[in-house]
Amino acid sequence: MFLSSFYGIIDSKNRVSIPSHFRLVINNSKEKIYIFKSLKYKCLEIHLSSKINSLIKSFDESDFFSKKNDHFKTAILSDLEEITFDKEGRFILKDQLQKFSKLSKEIMFIGKGNHFEIWEKKLGETHKKISRAKFK
**Tens-digit pLDDT profile for residues 95-133:** 999 999 999 999 999 999 999 999 999 999 999 999 999
Q: What DSSP letter does each residue of 24-54 carry, written as one string?
A: HHHHHHT--EEEEE-SSSSSEEEEEHHHHHH
pTM beyond cutoff 0.75: yes
For residue 40, pLDDT over 90 is answered with yes
CA 94-98-102 angle, to 5 degrees, is 175
pLDDT at 122: 97
Q: By CB neighbour count within 10 A (0-12 exposed, 13-18 middle, 19+ buried), where does 32 fall?
A: middle
Per-residue pLDDT tens for 6-29?
Answer: 999 999 999 999 999 999 999 999
Nearest residue to 121 (alpha-carbon basis) of 43, 13, 47, 46: 43
Per-residue pLDDT tens for 46-84?
Answer: 999 999 988 888 777 777 677 888 888 888 888 899 999
Q: What DSSP letter does each residue of 47-116 carry, written as one string?
A: EEHHHHHHHHHHHHHS-TT-HHHHHHHHHHHTT-EEE---TTSEEEPPHHHHHHTT--SEEEEEE-BSEE
pLDDT at 56: 80
